[in-house]
Structure 1
Amino acid sequence: MRIAGIRWTIEESFQAAKGQVGLDHYQVRSWDGWYRHITLAMLALAFLAVLAASQPDGDEAHLPLTMPEIRRLLAALTLTRHRRIEEIPHWSHWRRRHQATARRCHYQRRSQP
């Protein structure tokens, strides 16, 4: 049972790495290129995981920052230039607040007979 639980944790980590940092998006022909890509992807995943784990727990009105949300914020801050810097945290705050409201309404509806 313990081995199955460990395997599930590893599979979840690989799925997160594939979805968040592009672990499976390599097109290389050499060992060195593959090794560099995998190393950078795992480093990026570790960075996102540490940032997500260091966030304080959310309250009823807001969800905490998750790995996908941190990735979106970093991409918006570094890759796009069409938004003002002040709009990016405001958008994230608004989005997490509405996600918390949707979660709360979903749980209330599911708890009613």
Structure 2
Amino acid sequence: MVISCDGTGAIKYSLTNDQASAVQLCYRQHQRYWIERAIQEAKSEVGMAQYQVRGWQGWHQNMAMVTMAMLFVTQQKLINRDCAPLLSTHDVIELLSFYLPSKQRSEKEIFHQLLQRHTPVPRQCPKRHRRCIND
């Protein structure tokens, strides 16, 4: 079906087996933009593209957290649309980083954590090897 929905006369091609009216098909075609925009924001702002997992369970957990974060951001945009109509996902995240309480750590605590993180842990050889490579 060939439809010109945007009033510019540009022809957009869509293939469907749905028996919907031309108006409904135009509406569905235009909804695609908002879905793609939401996915772009989820990837760039709340970490949808930054997962590093090895299994499906970790991937599903990460996607659930991203979905909940995007739901929260969308709710905040809707709640504040009258007083802040241009509120973006980045704006909400920036406000959260300011308003959420954070633990103030001393310099001594930070260096202690760094030392713990960077201290090598003694490796144990697997039972099938007689000696470690590093020995």
Displacement after TM superposition at 1:10 (Å)? 1.1
After TM superposition, the structure 1 = structure 2 runs for residues 38-77 of structure 1, keeping only pairs within 5 Å, are 38-58=63-83, 65-77=87-99
Identity percentage over the alignment? 27
Alignment match, 2:45: 20
| Residues 80 and 36 of structure 1: CA distance in aligned 2, closer, same or farther (over 3 Å) | same
Which aligned segments of 4 or more residues in structure 1 are displaced greater than 4 angstroms? 79-82
CA contact (8 A) 1:20 1:45 kept: no
Residue ranges of structure 2 left out of the alignment (5+ in a row): 1-25, 105-135
What is the CA-CA distance between 1:77 and the residue it aligns to?
2.7
Residue 65 of structure 1 and its aligned partner are, at CA, apart by 3.8
The structure with the greater share of residues assigned to helix is 1
Residue 5 of structure 1 pairs with residue 27 of structure 2: no
Tell me by how many angstroms 1:76 deviates. Answer: 2.1
Task: Give the secondary structure class of the aligned counterpart of 1:24.
Answer: coil
8 Å CA contact 1:23, 1:38 repeated in 2: yes
Q: Provide the alpha-carbon RMSD of the alignment.
A: 2.4
TM-score (norm 1): 0.59
1: distance between equivalents of 2:35 and 2:60? 19
Q: Say which structure, 1 or 2, has more relative contact order (CA 8 Å, 6+ apart).
A: 1
Structure 1's unaligned 5+ residue stretches are 83-113
> How many residues end up aligned between the 2 structures?
79
Q: Residue 91 of structure 2: SS of its match in structure 1?
A: helix
Give the TM-score normalised by structure 2.
Answer: 0.50
Structure with higher Rg: it is 2
Shift of 1:79: 6.7
